[in-house]
Chains A and B, each alone.
Chain A
Amino acid sequence: MNAELIKEQFPILHQEINGHPLVYLDSAASSQKPKVVLDALKHYYEWDNANVHRGVHTLGSRATDDYEGAREKVARFIGASHTEEIIFTRGTTTALNIVASSYGPAVLQEGDEIVITQMEHHSNLIPWQQLALRTKAVLKYIPLQSDGNVAPQDVEKTITSRTKIVAIAYVSNVLGVVNPVKQIAEIAHRHGAVIVVDGAQSTPHMKVNMQDLDCDFYTFSGHKMCAPTGIGVLYGKKHLLESMEPVEFGGEMINDVGLYESTWKELPYKFEGGTPIIAGAVGLGAAIDFLEAIGMDEIHRHETKLAMYAMDRLSEIEGITLYGPRDREVGLITFNLMDVHPHDVATVLDASGIAVRAGHHCCQPLMRWLQVNSTVRASLYLYNTEQDIDALAKALIQTKEYFG
């Protein structure tokens, strides 16, 4: 694949910031959107917009077809067995909260265990913390190796017959490690637990397959994979989703409403109360078409190669501390530069047109594990090039001189 040609298709990337060409290295926070996705949104609103699943009129049918067509694309994209296993949500956070608030209380007894890791994003940590507090379940952490990796033997030691839920990120949004989710799923299942996977940082960057991973729940956000904000996905195995109660009640999700009791629609609608995120789903469908046309394996190869190049270039800079393992499988590079505060680094980089993230990356427990208050993070996507990394390295050297 040719990243230069791909970059051409992202209108936002062709502008100057503070007198320099924009170098966007914050895709793990939110990716940019290609023209085809923007066009799909525009087309939807200009030609097909209406509410879904109720209008008899033509626009209502078109909007319904667009929305359900997007669901089919998502199901195929992640290898779900059934289209109704795809629930559209606002994003990963909402998807994880649905599992924690609907599935959690139904299966947990006092003293049962929820197992997570210290590298989780707050959205895959606080819902379980709250669930544990409410149900008097025990929240347990799989210890991390010194480089941040999760070792299967530590998973074996942490999960017991009292474990009911294991929740883990496929890819860490800070350390850039890829967790052995398939192995962890096997261990969880052997102990009668389900596995919930936070796929926010994996789905945009690599091929994922629900049958291969055998995870019970899988969640991700559209906006990190070229789609608009406000759309995300909860995948769940059909028998699990069927056994669960809805968490939001209202229109669209009901079968029969009485004065004192009501019944719910079948999957996936019982989890999609209210007018759904129709345009968002259309945008997500267009983003999936765009990514699949390039090829997820191609994208993954490009990013891994670029991440290794970045690790090589950045490690040449004296005074830099790179966090996580040396070898990269994904395009996430987290670092600190001498004792210059990450905010100051990010401000100086911005003056050169380079966008990075500075802060705790919604991972305060992981920051404590790393024994830092915050870090700088450069995150890559399919439109980034070696020139972007060169610009970053050059600007970091200037930052050092500025604060040295």
Chain B
Amino acid sequence: MQLDDLYRRVIMDHYKTPRNRGKFDNETLTVELNNPTCGDRISLHLVIEDDIVKDARFTGDGCSISMSSASMMTEAVKGRTFAEAMDLADRFSCLMKGEPAEFDDYEDIEALSGVNKFPARIKCATLAWNALKKGINEESKQ
């Protein structure tokens, strides 16, 4: 097992200097999710206008995989329509299953491809993305 498959430089960079960490004064909604088996928690803060994710930030506590994934997700999702954001999330699910997925629009995400070789850590990587899907589903209903 190559640890470097999991902890690539890009991941450590997002973990140590996370992008979009924090909250907004004018956020549309906050989605809170936790992983009950390990205690990781994330709060995803979204600013939404006309079915577009205008801005995204996160707060929470978790391992390098969950936090770097949240950092990348919030970077990638900014300015996307709901349909685009859901497509991005679907592509991320493929990546976690070891299926082909392209991220030409935000290549950092591909650094997480190694996670699928570590079954115990997939839930860490998907936490922030599940929060995104939950948030969009909630907003779409309204």
Give A contacts to B, CB under 8 Å: 18-19, 341-344, 347-348, 350-351, 358-360, 364, 367, 373-374, 402-403
Contacts and interface: CB of A to CB of B under 8 A. Distances in A.
A347 B121 contact: yes
B36 to A, nearest CB: 9
A351 B37 contact: no
Given A341-B63, A344-B64, A347-B118, A402 B39 contact: no
Contacts, number: 47
A226 B124 CA distance: 32
Nearest to B12: A403
A31 to B, nearest CB: 20
Contacts of A341: 62-64
Given A351-B1, A360-B39, 9 more contacts: A343-B124, A344-B63, A344-B64, A351-B3, A358-B38, A359-B38, A364-B39, A367-B39, A374-B39
A350 B40 CA distance: 20
A347 B1 CA distance: 10
A347 B66 CA distance: 14
Contacts of A344: 7, 63-65
B41 interface: yes
A315 B54 CA distance: 48
B41 A402 contact: no
Nearest to B37: A359
A373 B61 contact: yes
Interface in B86-142: 118, 120-121, 124
B77 interface: no
A351 B65 CA distance: 16
Nearest to A358: B38
Contacts of B120: 347
A329 B61 CA distance: 33
Nearest to A361: B39
B40 A373 contact: yes
A250 to B, nearest CB: 32
Nearest to A367: B39
Given A341-B64, A344-B64, A374 B38 contact: yes
A344 to B, nearest CB: 5
18 contacts: A341-B64, A343-B38, A343-B63, A343-B64, A343-B121, A344-B7, A347-B3, A347-B6, A350-B1, A359-B38, A360-B38, A364-B39, A367-B39, A373-B39, A373-B41, A374-B38, A374-B40, A403-B12
A359 B39 contact: yes
Contacts of A403: 12, 64
A221 to B, nearest CB: 19
Contacts of B64: 341, 343-344, 403
Contacts of A342: 38, 63
Interface range on chain B (Cβ under 8 Å from partner): 10 to 19
A364 to B, nearest CB: 7
Nearest to A340: B64
Interface string B44-63: 00000000000000000111
**Among B1, B6, B120: residue with most chain A CB under 10 A:** B1
Nearest to A399: B3
Contacts of A374: 38-40
A373 B35 CA distance: 11
A341 B7 CA distance: 13
A89 to B, nearest CB: 24
Contacts of B118: 347
A348 B118 CA distance: 11
B101 to A, nearest CB: 23
A350 B62 CA distance: 19
B38 A402 contact: no
B91 to A, nearest CB: 24
Nearest to B64: A344
Contact of A402 (B3, B40, B61): B3
A348 B41 contact: no
Contacts of A343: 38, 40, 62-65, 121, 124
A348 B63 CA distance: 12
Contacts of B7: 344, 402
A141 to B, nearest CB: 21
Q: Which 7 A-B pairs have the closest CB atoms?
A: A341-B63, A343-B63, A18-B1, A374-B39, A360-B39, A359-B38, A373-B39
Contacts of A348: 3
A294 B28 CA distance: 64
Nearest to A341: B63
Contacts of B39: 359-360, 364, 367, 373-374
Contacts of B1: 18-19, 350-351
A358 B124 CA distance: 13
Contacts of A350: 1
A358 B62 CA distance: 12
